[in-house]
Amino acid sequence: MNFSLFLAELWNARMSLINGLGNTVLISVVSVLLGSILGVFIGLVMTYGGWFTRFSVRLYIDFLRGTPVFVLILACFYILSVVGFDLSAFQAGVLALTLFCSSHVGEIVRGALIAIPKGQTEAAKSIGLTFGQTFIYVLLPQALRQILPTWVNTATEIVKASTLLSIIGVVELLLATQQVISRTYLSLEFYFFAGFVYFLLNFVIEQAGRAVERRISVP
């Protein structure tokens, strides 16, 4: 392994790698945000919905969780454009990851909500809170403590799944790295470097999650 050659090539390629990293972060942040919003909604429906909506949403969750992310990405890119929604590769990829994220967050939220004893909802009702108020002031604060650790896990999964967008031509960190490798042939060095960057990214996310966990934990 020629270390100084690697450093020189790394410096040459810094702009394309930084752009790739920027795309990876953008894809992950947008997918996790949209996926979480959709996921909370799904979790609520799963907990409080009628049997028919619960059944349809259950199908949605099981279908998405039972499908490889790779297949989801290809489906969003190709099948949607056959039907007439012509999404760019970036949009299709973000859509696929958002759907994937929402199904996981939905299950997390549902689990957290049903773990809260029914007596609390009844107590809230008895002091005259509406459902919205019950949810925001009674259930959500408790559920959040349950949700956070697994939600952070999902976020790191999405960061890793974003590498699959390289297949449909989104130049995120992995594809940017592969482009550099194809020019320099330093495959081990650059793959190792990319792996390290992904690790750093996820390490930061996990540490941030832990910090929030500590802050909101009940003493």
Partner 1 sequence: MTFLKTMAVAAVMTLATGSVMAQEASKLQEVLDRGYLVLGTGSTNPPWHFMDSDNQLKGFDVDMGRLVAKALFGDPDKIEYVQQSGDARIPNLVTDKVDMSCQFMTVTAERAQQVEFTIPYYREGVGLLLMANGDFADYAALKAAGDDVTVAVLQNVYAEEMVHSALPDAEVDQYDSVDLMYQALNSGRADAAATDQSALRWFMVQNPDRYKDAGYAWNPQSYSCAVKPGDQRWLNFVNTVLHEGMTGVEFPFYAASFKTWFGEELDVPKIGFPVEYK
Give the footprint of partner 1 on this chain (CB under 8 A). 12-13, 15-16, 19, 78, 81-82, 86, 89, 166-169, 171, 175, 178-183, 185, 187-188
Q: Cα–Cα distance between 82 and 80 in angstroms, integer?
A: 5
Q: How far is the CB of 152 from partner 1 (least distance, A)?
A: 31
Q: Cα–Cα distance between 115 and 112 in angstroms, integer?
A: 5
Cβ closer to partner 1: 64 or 165?
Answer: 165
Q: Cα–Cα distance between 119 and 61 in angstroms, integer?
A: 28
Cβ closer to partner 1: 120 or 187?
Answer: 187
Pairs from 87-95 (Cβ < 8 Å, separation ≥ 24) = 89/165, 89/168, 89/169, 89/170, 90/23, 90/27, 90/165, 90/170, 92/168, 93/27, 93/162, 93/164, 93/165, 93/168, 93/170, 94/27, 94/30, 94/31, 94/34
Cβ closer to partner 1: 71 or 208?
Answer: 71
Amino acid present at 121: T
Cβ closer to partner 1: 183 or 210?
Answer: 183
Cβ closer to partner 1: 36 or 166?
Answer: 166
Q: How far is the CB of 163 from partner 1 (least distance, A)?
A: 13
Cβ closer to partner 1: 109 or 176?
Answer: 176
- The 3-state DSSP class for residue 171 equals coil
Q: How far is the CB of 166 from partner 1 (least distance, A)?
A: 8
Q: Which two tokens stand for residue 164?
A: 């699959």
Asked if residues 168 and 93 have their Cβ atoms less than 8 Å apart, the reply is yes
Q: How far is the CB of 107 from partner 1 (least distance, A)?
A: 31
Cβ-Cβ contacts under 8 Å for 198 (sequence gap 6 or more): 159, 160, 163, 173
Q: How far is the CB of 59 from partner 1 (least distance, A)?
A: 27
Q: How far is the CB of 160 from partner 1 (least distance, A)?
A: 18
